[in-house]
Chain A
Amino acid sequence: MQLLFKIAWRNILRHKGKSLVIGIILFLGSLIMTLGNGVISGMDKGISENIVNRFTGHVVLVSTNQEQDNVLFSHMGKSVEVIYGYTNIRKILDRQPYIDKYLPTARGMAMALSEDAEPAYTILLGVKFEDYNRMFENNVEIIEGHVLKNDQRGCLITSESRKSLYDYTSSWLVPENTPLIRSNLSPEARSNQDSLILKTNVVIMGFGDDDLAMDIRVPIKGIFKYKRLNKLWEYFNLIDIESFRECFSYVTGADAAVSLPAEKQTLLSMEGANLDNLFDNTVTSVATKAGGYDFQTMKHETRRKNVKVNIDAGAYNMVLVKLEKDIRLNQAVSRLNKELKKQRVDARAITWKKAAGQVADMATIVRGSLFGFVLFIFFVAIIIIMNTLSMAAIERTSEIGMMRAVGATKGFIANMFIAETSLLSLFFGGLGILTGIILIKIVASLNISTTNDILQLLYGGDTFQPQLNLGDIISGILQLVVVTVIAVLYPVKVAKQITPLEAIARD
């Protein structure tokens, strides 16, 4: 052993050029890998924290009838099932010591209707806005207009939704009582500035599989974007919970009769007249374009005098729950589920990751592609190291042959090469990993921040916080070992094939 490493070490020093080539490759490979892992880990952590703190909470309660876990991002398909008996659930939540706060919400797909265009689909989050803001760290940044009060009717539209609604409906949304801000116009709207149709409200209609709801007109109170990770959520528009329930028929007939706002009344009285015309204009185009949705049925349902009595008032379809600090997520979920089951209420708890579906997996996807990149780097590294070592083996033919002639086994020769490469790998690869760790620490301490939406995705938030956990470092070391082993296989084979006869140099 000692002999092997002595020879290996001195050969490294003797063939400095080759050792340096291999060393630099190993150094760069490990460095890039470590940096990449650091960025991804930071992003992973940042995204998790930001999604949890500002969008979903740790745990999401859904109805026991809800089959799919991915309640937030499933675009089409089944609507999120309503949770029955929220009042009882709320009592249970209040009793759990590991729960910090929670927010009942309703999430649904809605159609924004307009007189002379196809309906556009949009995601609505029905909330009491002040509670929402408190729960999610004031993540809403108003661009135009105002925020909502808890008991105020209206909606907040994201600037991205406004853009895409403009593309569908050709009308530009502005909040009530606010002037048009031209600099906020999208390029498409700007090119059409002179004939721009402005609207201060939207007609929306809840959209789902089993019942199509009423269409209601909702005033626009503000245009906003999310402060962090806007790119992930820019199509989630906020609406007051009462309006949400109305347009998704979360109301009893009696409620509907009593609590319909004036605006709604007029809209209803238009039924069979204007509204029918409104639909007649769109029937054909939608029937073809929205394929799979039967617009005739839809039309029929909306026309019914008594909207299908659906659920009790005060209904929601999700409860977003934040846990106390240092509570294990999975433990909390199973404890909560046990309790919910025991109390026989219509709710089950799932982790935010399940509720957010593919968005939560973003980091995994980026990690995967980075892994591919690292793999490519390592592939190149392996080729270069393999080639350099094979050349070294051939150059040392007579030396190796002589060792064989005086009694060294093939295994000894192989181990000599392995020892040499391992030493290089240990030193230069180790140096690369170490440098990577230090660079990551330095970059993280600089607190580089951005308001750019795309960069925020990479940063996992508004500051660039790359980080490495023990697992990353260990996996980095393992990757280095794998590279070393693969790179040395072929040169070892070459060296083992050198016969003792080759000790006698022949020209």
Chain B
Amino acid sequence: MNIIEINNVKKDYPLGQTTVHALRGIDLTIQEGDLISIIGPSGSGKTTLLNIIGCIDSATEGSVKIADKEITRMNDKDLTNLRLYKIGFIFQTFNLIPVLDVLENVEFPLLLMKQYTRDQIRKRAEKLIGEVQLKEYIRHKPSELSGGQRQRVAIARALVTNPDIVLADEPTANLDSETGATILELMKEMNEIEKTTFIFSTHDADVLKYAKHVVKLRDGHVVEH
């Protein structure tokens, strides 16, 4: 089943007098449970594409369907809900809430959902923290963790809501290759265990071996699928 259907998506950024055509007509369908890597040179539109799929940016033109729902005309509230319930995000800069500890950061999206009891939330968060091997760090603040550890917290947080899609923009770019490898290993494992669709972008050719499929971008076009 197609979880994502992208048709002729264009994205223009106004830049002074001119316009930057970041995406020039993307057509792409992604199957449920896939693990896809988006590659391409710098400036080819990888981040832009992920942001549009992740509902944190909007396409200038074209259609984007997530689980058969057209998102290009949704209002802020529906998009927020979509992000909360269907999508998990992992940022390059391992963005966590600085005042919350590891457990609280992972619990955060579950608390926003307001549909689980405290116990359920605690259990689920602890399970995910266990899976990313951070049990001993459960009470640590983000500032007390290494980059790799923070990225693992971000992965746990992205997965805790059991989303349909997890998006990761260069999740290993700020990590040394060894830590990067464990992160990717973890994503692969999660993809197998939870059947979650993973889409991550990368510069790194080494990373490609983790992906089931590769999408190659150049100048805002898909050049290989």
Q: Which of B2-10, B81-89, B195-203 contacts A (4 or more CB under 8 A)?
A: B81-89
Minimum distance in angstroms from A288 CB to a CB of chain B: 78
* A504-B97 CB under 8 A given contacts A402-B91, A407-B85, A408-B80: no
Size bin of chain B's contact surface: 20 to 34
Q: Mark A379-398, 1 if CB is under 8 A from B, else 0.
A: 00000000000000000001
Report if B108 contacts A (CB, 8 A): yes
Interface size on A, residues (CB 8 A): 25
Instruction: Considering the complex, give the chain A residue whose CB is closest to the CB of B85.
Output: A407
CA distance A120 to B62 in the complex (A): 94
* Bound: A403/B100 CA distance, A: 12
Q: Judge whether A405 and B99 touch: CB under 8 Å.
A: no
Partner of A406, one of B51, B77, B81, B108: B108
Q: With A406-B84, A410-B76 as given contacts, are A500 and B56 in contact (CB-CB < 8 Å)? A: yes
Contact status B97-A500, CB under 8 Å: no
Residue B133 is within 8 A (CB to CB) of chain A in the complex? no
Query: Taking the complex as formed, is A505 at the interface, i.e. its CB lies under 8 A from any CB of chain B?
Result: yes
Q: B51 touching A501 by the CB < 8 A rule?
A: yes
0/1 per residue, A1-20, Cβ < 8 Å to B? 00100110011011000000
Q: Contacts A405-B83, A408-B112, A409-B77 hold; do A10 and B99 have CB atoms under 8 A apart?
A: yes
* 458-487 of chain A: CB within 8 A of chain B: none
Q: Which residues of B contact A409 (CB under 8 A)?
A: 77, 80, 112
Q: Which residues of A contact B14 (CB under 8 A)?
A: none
B80–A404 touching, CB < 8 Å:
yes
B 35-77 contacts with A by CB, 8 A: 47, 51, 54-57, 76-77
By secondary structure, the A interface counts as: helix
State how many angstroms separate the Cβ of A404 from the closest Cβ of chain B: 7
In whole angstroms, what is the CA distance A309 to B54 when docked? 102
Most buried by A among B76, B97, B111, B161: B97
B179 on the A face (CB < 8 A): no
Near B by CB (< 8 A), chain A positions 381-436 give 398-399, 402-410, 412
Cross-chain contact B169 with A504 (CB below 8 angstroms): yes
| Contacting pair B89 A406 (CB below 8 A) | yes
Interface string of A48-83 (1 = CB under 8 A from B): 000000000000000000000000000000000000
* B-chain residues with CB within 8 Å of residue A410 when the two chains form the complex: 76, 80
- With A407-B84, A407-B85: A501-B98 Cβ-Cβ less than 8 Å: no
Q: Considering the complex, which residues of chain A in the window 126-163 have a beta carbon less than 8 Å from any beta carbon of chain B?
A: none
Asked if B150 is at the interface (CB within 8 A of a chain A CB), the reply is no
A402 touching B97 by the CB < 8 A rule?
Answer: yes
B92 within 8 A of A: yes
- Bitwise interface map of A from 346 to 363 toward B, beta carbon under 8 Å scored 1, else 0: 000000000000000000
Kindly report which residue of chain A lies nearest to residue B80, judged by CB atoms.
Answer: A409
Cβ distance B145 to chain A, nearest Cβ, rounded Å:
16
Contact of B93 among A3, A14, A407, A504 (CB under 8 A): A504
A residues in contact with B80, CB < 8 Å: 404, 407-410
Are B91 and A504 in contact, with the CB atoms below 8 A?
yes
A277 to chain B, nearest CB (A): 95
Asked if B54 and A11 sit within 8 Å, CB to CB, the answer is no
A252 at the interface (CB under 8 A from B): no
**Residue on B nearest A412 in the bound complex, by CB:** B112
Are A501 and B108 neighbours in the complex by a CB distance under 8 Å?
A: no
B220 at the A/B interface (Cβ < 8 Å)?
no
Query: A6 vs B108: C-alpha distance in the bound complex, in angstroms?
Result: 12
Q: Could you tell me the distance between the alpha carbons of A405 and B111 in the complex, rounded to whole angstroms?
A: 15
Q: Evaluate contact between A406 and B100: CB separation under 8 angstroms.
A: no
Asked if A405 contacts B56 (CB within 8 A), the reply is yes
CB of A402 within 8 A of CB of B109, answer: no
Please name all residues of chain B whose beta carbon is closer than 8 Å to the beta carbon of A399 when the two chains form the complex.
Answer: 95, 97-98
Nearest-neighbor residue (CB-CB) of B99 within chain A: A10
**Residues of chain A contacted by B98 (CB below 8 angstroms):** 14, 399
* A403 to B108 CA separation, bound complex (whole angstroms): 9
Measured CA separation A402–B109 after assembly (Å): 11
Out of B95, B99, B113, name the residue touching A7 (CB < 8 Å).
B99
Contact partner of B56 (CB less than 8 A), chosen from A3, A412, A501, is A501
A364 at the interface (CB under 8 A from B): no
CA A144 to CA B77, docked complex, whole Å: 84
Distance between Cα atoms of A407 and B161 in the complex (Å):
11
Whether, in the assembled complex, A256 has its beta carbon less than 8 Å from a beta carbon of chain B, the answer is no
- Interface pair A407/B112, CB less than 8 Å apart: yes
A499 CB within 8 Å of chain B: yes
Cα-based distance from A303 to B201 in the complex (angstroms): 115
Q: Measured between C-beta atoms, what is the minimum distance from B166 to chain A in Å?
A: 12
User: A503 at interface (Cβ–Cβ under 8 A)?
Assistant: yes
Closest to B54 in A: A405
Using CB atoms, name the residue of chain A closest to B112: A407
Residue of A nearest to B84 (CB): A407
Once bound together, how far apart are the Cα atoms of A499 and B93, in whole Å?
Answer: 17
Q: Can you name 18 A-B residue pairings with CB atoms under 8 Å?
A: A3-B111, A398-B93, A398-B95, A399-B98, A402-B91, A404-B80, A405-B54, A405-B83, A406-B83, A406-B88, A406-B89, A406-B108, A408-B84, A410-B76, A500-B56, A500-B83, A501-B56, A505-B93
Apart from A6-B104, A407-B84, A503-B95: 5 A-B pairs, beta carbons within 8 A: A13-B99, A398-B95, A399-B98, A503-B89, A504-B93
Give the interface of A toward B (CB within 8 A): 3, 6-7, 10-11, 13-14, 398-399, 402-410, 412, 499-501, 503-505
